[in-house]
Amino acid sequence: MKKIAIVSSSNFRCQFIYLLLEGESVTLFSNPKHVEEPFYDIIIYAPIHEENINVFPNHKLIVVQEGDMKPSFSGRHVPFEVTNPSNVKRKIWMHINQLHSERANTLTGGIVAIGSSTGGPLSLQTVLKPLPATFDVPIVIAQHMPADFTRVLARRLNQIVGIRVKEAHHLERLEAGTAYVAPGGKQMTIQVSGDKDAVIHINEPEGTDLYHPSINYLFESVALYEWKIVVLLTGMGSDGAGALAKLKQSSQTTIIAESQQTATIFGIPNAAIKTGLVDEVLPNNEIGEWLVGKGGKP
């Protein structure tokens, strides 16, 4: 049975939501500081006034509150409607079932995903060079590049950095210490195999796809990992920024953007920064060391 915490400084709101979850394993809290977050699968937080909504991790949080949420909030929101409890109940359960489904399909362990465009090859080289061959997790890369050029890029990187770098193949299983470059002109995503392994899927782009490979598609697919680090490097446009809200809604995610100081073109990192969801802004010569220092973990 799912363990659910209902948190609100308003006793009325706690009781209101509690009655909508009759039969579930529920604990009520009046103060967010009293909630031992790791013990609960789902936290339903009903703040009033201007209380901080960022006290709980997004990957298990449902916020019940009047009105629209701030644009920077990337989690699950249910409007608080006293006169329409059935609608509140329906939306809460929709999010609970979504969270449960996501958790059932989660891949254990972690991954690093990198997106880049103009100026990317040099920036990728700078980021990957400090990583040891024993790096603990796999790395997946979407570099805007035509077909065949990515094979040359992967071969070149493999010769000058410490970890293994290769162009990715369809249905290839991910291995730690290897960086997989999405083939130019294709779309690459990560999916869960029947035996719960991470498998690369390479597909033809849709006619409406602006980028192939797409950073957005790749980033959205790694949301199924237990934890992940995504890195947005130099490039024109905003590819990748559209996936960040979904990543923040999933389990542990750290988002890094290359700083204007080293980006050949600041478009992609800047678009990510403007979402308000980026955790670190670093020059490319510090990103690899940051990853090594963290052991590939957020």
Which are the catalytic amino acids? Answer: 117, 144, 239
Name the β-bridge partners of 281: 257
d(CA 44, CA 17): 9
Query: What φ, ψ does residue 124 adopt, rounded to 5°?
Result: -60, -45
d(CA 58, CA 32): 14
Sequence length of the chain is 298
Structure token pair of residue 39: 């013990």
d(CA 28, CA 40): 12
Q: How far apart are the first and last CA of the chain?
A: 29
Report the SS3 class of residue 144: coil
- Tell me how far the alpha carbon of residue 223 is from its chain's centroid: 5
d(CA 112, CA 135): 11
Name the β-bridge partners of 198: 192
Label residue 55 exposed, middle or buried (CB < 10 Å: 0-12, 13-18, 19+): middle
Residue in 248, 201, 212 with CA at minimum distance from that of residue 229? 248
